[in-house]
């Protein structure tokens, strides 16, 4: 029984900084609980100042190797809003949505199968899965490859795409490649069906804490690329007005800021998207969600992993639909990109990165150079909510062993899919008895 | 597509640079890939970014991979090391790639080995001096680029 203990998990600093979990419990009462993560965009905000309008998307795509498409498009949309570009055609939009789906698939696959699944299967890491659950590893690698190939075909590269620019695309996929992508997507269904059977066997921790769930939302699409900002607390605003609701404050124990909107914390990511946009999921994805016991509104943060999987199903379904529409309409190279005339102005680009709401806010001068940049990343927005969850969960499991408590805390943090370089470090938690 | 002495066609070889060009010396792998553009023909050069899972996929689809990365295997700063991942399982846990974010390099190599993917993987790594935010390589790391390029070309033709 863990009456009194201290968990201090200090990540070795890597390229993106580090994250720590500090948990002190005395006589079954939490004395101190802090989850600290770095705020990496600060350097990039400074780096953008003075840059010409066509460079921020390439620079910010390097903020994170796992969500480079999301940063690319938050950046592109901010620039297009600032330049007053409002003639992005349907072909460009559909191709953007298509590539966006597959970064989400790339990231969700990695998290569901390689980072979260080992916890649920009771094995130490994804490496152990090779022996314990080889079918899971093979499914993960096949689906990841499919998503990589989709991003590569549309964006020119599997990571850090180069054809995606302000105004549109520098090159379009060929008709043959469109058919090839459709075949790849259709071939993914058996793996999704097999995944469903595996995921049904997972013992998801029974923990709930209602909070505010914020994502973008659209009346038609399950919004990833574009939409208003919407909350389960009943408000919806234009993405350009994010500052009306999204607040940040500096907290003493970390360089990262805490975010809040209607209450003291909110959640972003797959579960927030699911809770806000369930109606726009494909029928197939809804069926998968039902079979996995996921219904809106769901208040269990551990179900974020299941929401991520449901999103993979939706992305495959919706991609096939988008490809069919593009093939029917025909691809037109003359409409691959629209003219951009640099001008002074401010613009906001809001998208759903795999881990949640991502905001780029740029102000340009007359020459089309960045004067000011503000970036708000998903992991930072979840930071306060993770602490609130831990504060509520730990007393509920306080009679378990220290190891079990430690694992539960790690799993909860991992369920949020925080910056992946941080989450992998959670395999090395130090537990010191007091 | 020419056959080399070990009979691995160039098309089945890949050269991958890992890292982030905005993280100072962490960008060494990408810098070398960029400079190899005009020096290597017939072998795919890949900007691998920071995903180790993709290394597994690359390993599955090739016979030989040459990786360039910022790596600390206990050598001195600026020192270049080269090792064949198949023969150096003792390195697992001891090598530290600064670039890979989803898994680390050791984990990716171990997974490739566990999956029984028999691809030859040669890692050419230099121990970085600075991996903080920054757009430039440290001068002493940049000075090693010609040496790294020579090693990569020799390895690619091997």
**Predicted local distance difference test score (pLDDT) of residue A380:** 82
A420 touches chain B (CB under 8 A): yes
Nearest CA in chain A to B99: A15
- Could you tell me the two tokens for A201? 């066997």
A68 touches chain B (CB under 8 A): yes
Number of A to B CB contacts under 8 A, please give it: 83
Within A251-392, strands assigned E span: 257-260, 266-267, 345-353, 356-364, 370-376
Is A192 within 8 Å of A130 (Cβ atoms)? Answer: no
The series of mean pLDDT values per 10 residues for chain A, 434 residues long, is 60 40 82 71 84 94 82 97 97 98 93 85 84 92 95 86 94 97 98 95 93 98 98 98 91 73 96 98 98 97 96 98 98 96 97 95 97 90 91 92 86 78 34 34
Which residues in chain B are closer than 8 Å to A107, comparing Cβ atoms? none
Is A345 within 8 Å of A83 (Cβ atoms)? Answer: yes
Tell if the CB–CB gap between B102 and A64 is shorter than 8 Å.
no
**A266-267 and A212-217 beta bridge pairing:** parallel
Candidates A12, A13, A14, A15: best to mutate against B (most CBs of B within 10 A) is A15
User: Where in chain A are the domains?
Assistant: 41-383
Domains defined along chain B, listed by start: 10-157 (3.40.50.1450)
Nearest CA in chain B to A423: B102
Length of chain A: 434
Tell if the CB–CB gap between A127 and B102 is shorter than 8 Å.
no
pTM of the predicted structure, to 2 decimals: 0.91
Identify which has the larger pLDDT, B22 or A147. Answer: A147
Instruction: State which H helix or E strand residue A92 sits in.
Output: helix A90-109
Candidates B51, B69, B72, B115: best to mutate against A (most CBs of A within 10 A) is B51
B153 touches chain A (CB under 8 A): no
- Could you tell me the two tokens for B64? 């030989």
**Predicted local distance difference test score (pLDDT) of residue A420:** 44
CA distance A196 to chain B (A): 22
**Alpha-carbon distance A6 to A434, whole Å?**
7
Task: List the end-to-end C-alpha distance of chain A, in Å, as a whole number.
Answer: 14
Tell if the CB–CB gap between B103 and A126 is shorter than 8 Å.
yes
**Predicted local distance difference test score (pLDDT) of residue B90:** 57
What angle in degrees, to the nearest 10, is found between the helix axes of B105-114 and B53-60? 40
A144 touches chain B (CB under 8 A): yes
CA distance A114 to chain B (A): 9
**B96-97 and A257-260 beta bridge pairing:** unpaired
Tell if the CB–CB gap between B49 and A14 is shorter than 8 Å.
no
**Nearest residue to A124 via CA among A421, A416, A434, A428:** A428
**Alpha-carbon distance B64 to B143, whole Å?**
27
Which residues in chain A are closer than 8 Å to B57, comparing Cβ atoms? 141, 144-145, 148
Tell if the CB–CB gap between B133 and A125 is shorter than 8 Å.
no
- Of residues B20, B54, B102, nearest to A158 (C-beta): B54
Task: Give me the residues of B, 113-142, that contact A with CB < 8 A.
Answer: 114-115, 131, 133, 135
Task: Give me the residues of B, 24-63, that contact A with CB < 8 A.
Answer: 26, 47-51, 53-54, 56-57, 60
Tell if the CB–CB gap between A65 and B60 is shorter than 8 Å.
no
CA distance B72 to chain A (A): 12
Which residues in chain B are closer than 8 Å to A144, comparing Cβ atoms? 53-54, 57
Within A192-235, strands assigned E span: 212-217, 228-231
Burial-class residue B77 by CB neighbours within 10 Å (0-12, 13-18, 19+). middle
**Predicted local distance difference test score (pLDDT) of residue A99:** 96
Q: Mean pLDDT, to the nearest integer, of B131-138?
A: 87
**Predicted local distance difference test score (pLDDT) of residue A425:** 31
**ipTM value of the model?**
0.85
Segment B35-62, tens digit of pLDDT: 998 888 889 999 877 777 889 999 999 9
**Alpha-carbon distance A33 to A22, whole Å?**
6
Identify which has the larger pLDDT, A433 or B85. Answer: B85
Using alpha carbons, list the distances in angstroms from residue B95 to A212, B15, B74, B101.
42, 20, 8, 14
Domain topology for A41-383: Cytochrome-c3 Hydrogenase; chain B (1.10.645)
Bin A297: left if φ > 0, else alpha if -120 < ψ < 50, else beta: beta
Q: What angle do CA A310, A314, A319 make, to 5 degrees?
A: 150
Quick one: how far is CA A128 from the chain centroid?
Answer: 25
A158 touches chain B (CB under 8 A): yes
**Predicted local distance difference test score (pLDDT) of residue A14:** 24
Is A5 within 8 Å of A25 (Cβ atoms)? Answer: yes
Tell if the CB–CB gap between A141 and B26 is shorter than 8 Å.
no
A126 touches chain B (CB under 8 A): yes
Other residues' Cβ atoms within 10 Å of the Cβ of residue B82: 14
């Amino acid at each position: 029984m863990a009456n009194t203990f201290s968990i201090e998990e200090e990540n070795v600093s890597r390229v993106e900084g580090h994250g720590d979990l500090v948990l002190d419990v005395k006589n079954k009462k939490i004395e101190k609980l802090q989850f600290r993560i770095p705020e990496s965009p600060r350097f990039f905000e400074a780096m953008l100042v003075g840059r010409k309008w066509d460079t921020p998307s390439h620079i910010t795509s390097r903020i994170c190797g796992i969500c480079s498409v999301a940063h690319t498009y938050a950046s592109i949309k901010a620039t297009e809003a600032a330049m007053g570009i409002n003639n992005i055609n349907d072909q460009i939009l559909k191709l953007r949505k298509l590539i966006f789906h597959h970064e989400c698939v790339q990231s969700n696959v990695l998290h569901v199968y390689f980072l979260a699944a080992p916890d649920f299967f009771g094995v130490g890491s994804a490496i152990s899965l090779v022996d314990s659950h080889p079918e899971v590893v093979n499914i993960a690698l096949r689906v990841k490859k499919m998503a990589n190939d989709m991003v590569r075909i549309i964006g020119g590269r599997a990571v850090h795409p180069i054809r995606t620019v302000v105004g549109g695309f520098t090159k379009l996929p060929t008709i043959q490649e469109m058919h090839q992508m459709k075949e790849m997507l259709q071939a993914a269904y058996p793996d999704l069906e097999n995944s469903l059977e595996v995921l049904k066997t997972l013992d998801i921790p029974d923990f709930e804490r209602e909070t505010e769930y914020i994502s973008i939302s659209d009346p038609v699409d399950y919004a990833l690329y574009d939409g208003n900002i919407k909350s389960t607390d009943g408000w919806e605003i234009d993405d350009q007005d994010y500052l009306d609701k999204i607040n940040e404050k500096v907290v003493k124990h970390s360089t990262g800021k805490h975010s809040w909107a209607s209450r003291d914390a909110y959640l972003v990511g797959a579960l927030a998207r699911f809770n806000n946009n369930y109606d726009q999921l494909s029928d197939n994805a809804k069926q998968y969600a039902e079979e996995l016991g996921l219904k809106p509104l769901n208040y269990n943060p551990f179900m974020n992993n299941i929401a991520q999987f449901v999103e993979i199903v939706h992305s495959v379904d919706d991609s096939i639909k988008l490809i069919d529409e593009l093939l029917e309409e025909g691809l037109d190279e003359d409409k691959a990109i629209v003219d951009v005339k640099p001008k002074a102005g401010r613009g906001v680009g809001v998208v759903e990165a795999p881990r949640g709401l991502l905001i780029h806010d740029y102000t340009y001068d007359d020459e089309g150079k960045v004067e000011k940049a503000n970036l708000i990343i998903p992991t930072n927005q979840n930071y306060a909510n993770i602490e609130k969850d831990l504060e509520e969960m730990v007393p509920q499991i306080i009679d378990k062993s220290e190891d079990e408590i430690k694992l539960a805390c790690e799993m909860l943090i991992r369920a949020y899919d925080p910056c992946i370089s941080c989450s992998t470090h959670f395999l090395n938690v130090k537990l010191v008895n007091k | 597509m020419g056959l080399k002495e070990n009979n691995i066609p160039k098309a089945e070889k890949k050269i991958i640079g890992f890292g982030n060009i905005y993280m100072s010396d962490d960008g060494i792998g990408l810098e070398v890939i960029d400079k190899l553009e005009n020096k290597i023909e017939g072998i795919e050069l890949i900007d691998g970014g920071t995903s180790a899972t993709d290394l597994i996929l690359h390993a599955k689809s090739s016979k030989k991979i040459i990786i360039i990365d910022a790596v600390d295997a206990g050598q001195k700063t600026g020192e270049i090391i080269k090792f064949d991942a198949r023969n150096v399982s003792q390195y697992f846990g001891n090598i530290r790639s600064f670039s890979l974010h989803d898994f680390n390099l050791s984990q990716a190599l171990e997974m490739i080995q566990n999956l029984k993917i028999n691809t030859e993987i040669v890692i050419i790594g230099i121990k970085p001096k600075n991996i903080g935010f920054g757009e430039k390589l440290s001068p002493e790391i940049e000075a090693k680029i010609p040496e790294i390029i020579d090693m990569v070309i020799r390895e690619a033709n091997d």
